[in-house]
Structure 1
């Protein structure tokens, strides 16, 4: 018997996307002023939420790997290259200037901030321009692997390079450290 939710990938994606958008809205990540205040270190509430979420999900992921609930074959490690570094820098620059990134812009639009359509359209146009320029960018070596290519933080499998040798339990420990850090960070650096 087929499951309506788990076998229907578009429906599952839509449901998870809506839930993620609601989470962004609830956390304040759809409000560009909240994001700007976080980036200016005026209000660290959203930063605390993000660090907690990274630590929590990292802990769950590495526990699942350690207990063999999730197979390492389900992982797809993207290779590090100059294109990733440059693309990240462009994203960070736009994120800092506008206070929205493509994901938060979609949720922001859904929350009623209609001007976020410009960020969404910019992302679509940027993706189109990247697609048509990809062969040229590849030919000049922009996507040549660097820093070991497909590299993980910890040893997970012989398939991937790694920085530290250890068990997935180290990942669980780091996840817990991030959770503690998120609880220690003050809500604001202003007095």
Structure 2
């Protein structure tokens, strides 16, 4: 039960940060899809870095165990394409859809409904996917540090350095171009 409470609190905090980071806004979503506004990219990359450092710190302290899922390139490629298609069609990713619904944007319900339908279709197709798509490029339960034979902190240091360089480039790029002007969704 305590795991559910932690999950709920984490979800509420993530939704709060999505809202405060302004990544729920339609112009930010469309700007990200058009590679014209990098607010969402910077927001998510910041969260990935904090989570990566936090998880491995807790792991090194013996407070958590890693639950590594298999790396299956076929599933990742097709799932990524479906995710991108859904995001492009409705203007929401899963986290922003739920947070936007919580903010009172009823159009987000369509995105959530689409995700639920997609999950149901995946469950129905799973027996077939298990013997086809989910075997393409199956590398098993391996992490990048394991594949490279290096410490996870070495990989984290490289990822943080690359992220900081990307942040710098994105900030520089955004400072040299005019602001993106888009129509707002009703109620924004």
TM class, shorter-chain normalised?
0.7 to 0.9
* 1:113 Cα deviation from its structure 2 partner: 1.1
Q: Does 1:170 align with 2:117?
A: no
TM-score (norm 1): 0.78
Matched with 1:54 is 48
Q: TM-score with structure 2 length normalisation?
A: 0.80
CA distance in 2, matches of 1:45, 1:55: 16
1:60–1:172: 8 Å Cα contact kept in structure 2?
A: no
The structure with the greater share of residues assigned to helix is 2
SS in structure 1 of the partner of residue 143 of structure 2: strand
Post-superposition shift, 1:55? Answer: 2.4
Matched, 1:127 2:111: no
Can you give the 5+ residue segments of structure 1 that lack an aligned partner in the other structure?
1-6, 156-161
Residue by residue over 1:51-84, the C-alpha shift from the partner in whole angstroms, topping out at 9 and shown as x without a partner, is 222223323334444xx21478433223314233
How is 1:1-191 mapped onto 2 (pairs within 5 angstroms)?
Answer: 8-65=2-59, 68-70=60-62, 73-139=65-131, 141-144=132-135, 146-155=137-146, 162=147, 164-184=148-168, 185-186=170-171, 188=174, 190-191=177-178
Q: Which runs of 4+ in 1 moved over 6 A?
A: none
In 1, Cα distance between equivalents of 2:54 and 2:106 = 36
- In structure 2, C-alpha distance between the alignment counterparts of 1:126 and 1:168, rounded to whole Å: 34
Where in structure 2 are there 5+ consecutive unaligned residues?
179-188
Aligned CA RMSD, in angstroms, stands at 2.4
User: What is the count of residue pairs matched by the alignment?
Assistant: 175
